[in-house]
Chains A and B, each alone.
Chain A
Amino acid sequence: MSENTPMQRPLSPHIQIYRWTLTMMLSILHRATGIALYAGTALLAWWLLAAASGPEAYAGVQAVSAAWYGKLVLFGYSWALFHHMFGGLRHFIWDTGRGFELRTVEILARISTFVPPVLTVFVWVMAYYYMGAWS
């Protein structure tokens, strides 16, 4: 069964050998944001359990989410969510067999790079509005 012995094929070069491109960065960021969102579900669980536990436990969540480091994490989390969502939408287009032309790939890459930060800022502006920052 000679076909079962591993063949001595050359390995493909690793990522550091290639010229850095936007699509490469997005591919890596899709994974990175996915992993970040994964870890961050612990925050969702903490928030829900605290709400179910009572006012004292909930005050603990509010203290952290009101602090600058809490806001920084939540801001990053909301960006990761939008970024991962747009990455997923891009994959949905590719799943239908469309959008593989280089020009389309570049356009989609730019959309999914620049729209998520805009949406993130919009969401935070709205959050401050609902907190009564301008009333």
Chain B
Amino acid sequence: MSDMRTPLSRARGLGSAKKGTAHFWSQRVTALANIPLTLFMVAMLVIHAGKDHAAIVSFLGNPFIGLIMLLLIVSAVMHMRLGLQVVIEDYIHGEAAKLLLLVGNTFFAITIGAACTLAVLKLVIGS
């Protein structure tokens, strides 16, 4: 126990995670954004149910639709990364396993985000 700080100094300020309420706040902001964005995606999928490739490509190729898809991807990926981070921190107690899963969580979120972004950009710009 080499920590010479008083209990008050440890509690004051940003807390043990050093990020204050940033995690909580980002979770709520992305949650709010996800509501209209996912409702848009559901409506889009319903209207295009069973449609062929050409119809989907011409729809997703519209820059306005592409923009909404990009916003959805960014918001959803941020939200899900924050959410699973809490799940991992709650249930995984081994330090090595926890660290590995937290990094894996970030890698998965970024990979999904990059894959979706790449696809949307190609549909808007390339086709």
Chain A residues in the interface with B (C-beta under 8 A) = 1, 3-5, 31, 34-35, 37-38, 41-42, 44-45, 48-49, 51-52, 54-55, 58-59, 62, 66, 78, 81, 85, 88-89, 91-92, 95, 123, 126-128, 130-132
Contact = CB atoms under 8 A, between A and B. Distances in A.
Nearest to B72: A44
Given A41-B76, A52-B123, A85-B34, 17 more contacts: A1-B3, A4-B3, A34-B80, A34-B83, A34-B84, A34-B87, A35-B87, A41-B112, A49-B118, A49-B119, A59-B53, A62-B50, A85-B35, A89-B35, A123-B46, A130-B46, A130-B47
B122 interface: yes
A128 B45 CA distance: 11
B42 A48 contact: no
Contacts of A81: 38, 42
A45 B115 contact: yes
B87 A51 contact: no
B53 to A, nearest CB: 4
Interface residues of B, number: 40
Nearest to A1: B1
Interface centre among A1, A44, A49 (most CB of B within 10 A): A44
B60 interface: yes
A40 B47 CA distance: 20
Contact of A45 (B57, B84, B119): B119
A48 B119 contact: yes
Contacts of A132: 50
Contacts of B46: 123, 126-127, 130
B124 to A, nearest CB: 10
Interface in B7-43: 7, 28, 31-32, 34-35, 38, 42
A52 B53 contact: no
